Amino acid sequence: MAFTNDDYLPTFEELTVPEIHLTSSVLVSGAHLYGKYCDNINKEFMLCFQEESDPRKCVSEGKQVTNCAFEFYGKVKKNCHEEFTSYWKCIDNCGSSKMDFSKCRRMQAPFDNCVKEKIGVERPPLGYFTRLREHETSRPKPQLKPLELPYPEPLPTAPDVSKIPSPEGAKCYGGISL
């Protein structure tokens, strides 16, 4: 995609946010509860991204997603550190390379209960994130731009073949002049 001087590009400072320095097993272990905790913020970002078709217009929503993740994992660390640590370590060590949850259900239950009691987030039921869920937004609806494709020149009308005189002496066989 080419840019001109008239195009807005966010500055490096606008794009820079602190990174979440967590391993994949930690992120996977808390993913379901994080998804429920930050559900509206994540949907707002995805809605912006889909409607605008321009990631530059959704930088602030993306920062909110990152801030929500920091907030959630910070609360988990503060309130449910022991339960969470035993759960993610089980997934890291016993869940194979696919991070299988099935071998760590005994550690999952205390973690889920802790998050429900101390943070107020209940683990979503199976299939929750695949269901159609309506999202209300306060963002203004984007204005659709009219399609600005140039129309091609119309084709010239073909001459009426029946009115074209055949050359003298031509013999016709099945509509073909020889």
> Domain-by-domain residue ranges, the chain?
13-125
For 126, residues 6+ apart whose C-beta sits below 8 A from its C-beta are none
* Per-residue pLDDT, 5: 79
For 55-108, what is each residue's pLDDT tens digit?
888 999 999 999 999 999 999 999 999 999 999 999 988 867 778 888 899 999
pTM of the model: 0.73
* Of 53-67, 109-123, 145-159, the least confident: 145-159
For 120-141, what is each residue's pLDDT tens digit?
999 999 999 999 988 898 888 8
* Per-residue pLDDT, 173: 58
